[in-house]
């Protein structure tokens, strides 16, 4: 799934995760790399360094955090966690 498809599903479900006001409020970046239903956002508050959160689009179009909010200090660590979460989901589905 692409980030464009994730955004579309969220909007079609009547949700506002990707709306400009919400993104601006959290000073978020939505990174375009996806792993199945998993993707990464970066948030920055005041003068703090940007930190990253793994997210997942749910079947109803809502967005959930996977693990702790801003759990990752680098985007590469967050991408690795998203990749592992997607693999774990696929492995569980095939078991």
Task: Report how far residue 50's alpha carbon sits from residue 27's, in angstroms, rounded to the nearest whole number.
Answer: 9
Q: Are 53 and 70 in contact (CB under 8 A)?
A: yes
Sorted by where each begins, the domain ranges of the chain are: 3-94
The whole-model pTM stands at: 0.92
Q: Give the tens place of pLDDT for each residue, 40-93.
A: 999 998 889 999 999 999 999 999 999 999 999 999 999 999 999 999 998 988
Q: Are 56 and 41 in contact (CB under 8 A)?
A: no
CB atoms within 10 A of CB 69: 13
Sheet holding 63-66, edge to edge: 28-35, 38-43, 51-57, 63-66
């Amino acid at each position: 799934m692409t980030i464009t498809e994730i955004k579309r599903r969220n909007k079609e479900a009547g949700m506002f995760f990707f709306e400009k006001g919400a993104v601006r409020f959290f000073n978020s970046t939505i990174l375009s790399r996806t792993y199945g239903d998993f993707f990464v956002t970066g948030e920055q508050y005041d003068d703090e360094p940007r930190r990253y959160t793994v997210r997942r689009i749910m079947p109803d179009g809502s967005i959930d955090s996977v693990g702790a909010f801003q759990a990752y200090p680098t985007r590469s660590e967050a991408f690795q966690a998203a990749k592992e979460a997607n693999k774990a989901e696929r492995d569980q589905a095939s078991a």
